[in-house]
Structure 1
Amino acid sequence: MSTLEVAACSRWYGNVVAVNDVTMRVGPGITGLLGPNGAGKSTLIHMLAGFLPPSAGTVTLDGAAVWRHPEAYRTLGLVPEREATFDYLTGGQFVLASAELHGLADPGAAARRALETVAMLDAADRKIGEYSKGMRQRVKMAAALVHDPAVLLLDEPFNGMDPRQRLHLIGLLRAMGEAGRTVLFSSHILEEVEQLAHHIEVLVAGRHAASGDYREIRRLMTDRPHRYTIASDDNRALAAALVADRATAGVSLDGETLRVEATEFLHFAELLPRVARDAGVRLYDVTPQDESLESVFSYLVQR
């Protein structure tokens, strides 16, 4: 069983900081790396894979630095988000080349096993240029698995997959996690991570925002302050009724608009219509102001 460790790790390009002082540990089982697009997930995965050196800090695999450590590739497998294939090769040729580069004793047999594992054996003789996005994802997976690595890193692996392909990959990764392999995959979709990961690391704007199982992360997101603008036929009466409840953290009147900050989402969802009814106030419009994914993650960073 293998463990990856990131200690006070940063990576910058000129004045742009892609990863900022991140510390985390990725052990056996399935870990989800969650964050919005542009959060630095790909940069972090490339450092974990030894393709990029940290500008500061360290990335180690079982205690040894990954950067400039070719032996690490006997243990690591990487499925990048970017298309790193050659369209003029067949899927079988591409996976075979990966097996040969790893110096395997029987590269042909290893390539066939890997293609069978990802259900691509029937398409092995077709050129990659003819593949769908989902098929390209699976052939990249086969190339990463050809040497049977103990650690698998996947960058947005479900992009472009149809429901059947997604279910197959979920089953495959679950089996790998249960077998004791170390699997890290990135995603910007919480529900995608919930289906698969036993542990979640959240990255936002290059910073490590949260860590824990998905129930803890879901609770942090659900319990964050929620902001609404409300239009009614008597904003003052509604504001007075709302401010007395524990679910309301703040109320302000801005002309004809009532702004409310609620700390308990589910309680407030029940509270607002009940308070309006009891106060004889007619609600015209209730609009959430901060429901974008980026705002949710930004809240976690500020904690």
Structure 2
Amino acid sequence: MTTIHIDRTSRWFGNVVAVNDITMQIAPGVTGLLGPNGAGKSTLIHMMGGFLAPSNGSVTLDSTPIWRNEQAYRQIGLVPEREGMYDFLTGYEFVLANAQLHQLPDPPAAARAALATVEMEYAQERKISTYSKGMRQRVKMASALVHEPSVLLLDEPFNGMDPRQRMQLMELLRRMGDEGRTVLFSSHILEEVEQLASHIEVVVAGRHAASGDFRKIRRLMTDRPHRYLVRSSDDRRLAAALIADASTAGIELDWSEQALRIQAIDFTRFTELLPRVAREAGITLYAVSPSDESLESVFSYLVAA
């Protein structure tokens, strides 16, 4: 059972800190690496794959450092987000080249098997230059799987895939996790991670923000304070009725917006309270909109929590 250990690991590029003192463990099964764009997910994956050295701390595969460890590449398959493909090759030739680099006993058979695994046999003789984004993703996947690695690292693997391709890849990754392989994929979409990962690691601005199953992560996100912009027929009276309830932590009148800015600390209670209070007081609600629902604001709350 292969496990990746990340221990007090940092990586910086000049004055830019991409990963800041992160400790986590990636065990067998499917793990989702969740965070907004620019959070440091790709940098983490490249260190796990042996393509970047940690500036501080360590990244090990079963207690053996991955950086400059050629033997680690026999156990690791990497599907990067960026495309470093040779468009003049066919899909088969591209995967075959990786099989040959791994010095497999039968590279052609391994290449064909990997392409079959990702259901790309029908297009394996076509030039990569003719492939769609989703097809390119699947050929990269075949190339990463050709040597049957025990660890699979995927950076935003669902980008550009249509719904059918996405379902096929999810089923493949689930199956690999069930077989005992260590599968890690990154995403900035919580729903995508929920559907697939048994365990989630959250990173924000290079820092480790949270860890657990999707229920725990969803609860952390739901239980955070929520901010709303509310317009009504009588903002002052509505504010007076809401401020007395324990579900709100603060209400202010925004003169420029002609609206109330409300911080709710009990999401469920507040969403039931607001329409009831307005109805009982004869107040018309013109608009109720969340003002802090971006991924960056949600994840930043987790870091500060």
Q: TM-score by structure 2 length? A: 0.97
Counterpart residue number, 1:14: 14
Q: Distance in 2 between matches of 1:45 and 1:8?
A: 15
Q: Deviations over 1:101-147 (max 9, x none)?
A: 00111111111110110001121111111111000000000000000
Which of 251, 263, 281 is 1:279 aligned to?
281
1:63 maps onto 2:63 in alignment: yes
Write the mapping of 1:191-230 to structure 2, written as runs, cut at 5 A.
191-230=191-230
Write the mapping of 1:133-144 to structure 2, written as runs, cut at 5 A.
133-144=133-144
Counterpart residue number, 1:187: 187
Counterpart residue number, 1:104: 104
Q: Deviations over 1:147-194 (max 9, x none)?
A: 000000000000111111111101100000000000000000000000
Counterpart residue number, 1:91: 91
Letter of the aligned partner of 2:232 in structure 1? S
Write the mapping of 1:167-182 to structure 2, written as runs, cut at 5 A.
167-182=167-182
How many pairs does the alignment contain? Answer: 303
SS in 2 for 1:195: helix
Letter of the aligned partner of 2:108 in structure 1? G
Q: Distance in 2 between matches of 1:266 and 1:16?
A: 40
1:292 maps onto 2:305 in alignment: no
Residue 287 of structure 1 deviates from its aligned partner by 2.4
Counterpart residue number, 1:5: 5
Residue 46 of structure 1 deviates from its aligned partner by 0.2
C-alpha RMSD of the superposition:
1.0
Q: Distance in 2 between matches of 1:132 and 1:217?
A: 34
Letter of the aligned partner of 2:133 in structure 1? K
Counterpart residue number, 2:266: 264
Letter of the aligned partner of 2:113 in structure 1? R
Q: TM-score by structure 1 length? A: 0.98
Residue 247 of structure 1 deviates from its aligned partner by 1.2
Letter of the aligned partner of 1:299 in structure 2? Y
Residue 236 of structure 1 deviates from its aligned partner by 2.1
Regions of 4+ moved over 4 Å: none
Residue 254 of structure 1 deviates from its aligned partner by 3.4
**Which range is displaced more, 64-73 or 270-279?**
270-279
Letter of the aligned partner of 1:260 in structure 2? I
Q: Distance in 2 between matches of 1:148 and 1:264?
A: 48
1:48 maps onto 2:21 in alignment: no
Q: Deviations over 1:6-37 (max 9, x none)?
A: 01111111111111111100000000000111
**Which range is displaced more, 21-30 or 287-296?**
287-296
**Which range is displaced more, 43-52 or 223-232?**
223-232
Residue 3 of structure 1 deviates from its aligned partner by 0.1
**Which range is displaced more, 30-39 or 262-271?**
262-271
Structure 2, unmatched stretches of 5+, are none
Q: Percent identity?
A: 70
SS in 2 for 1:253: strand
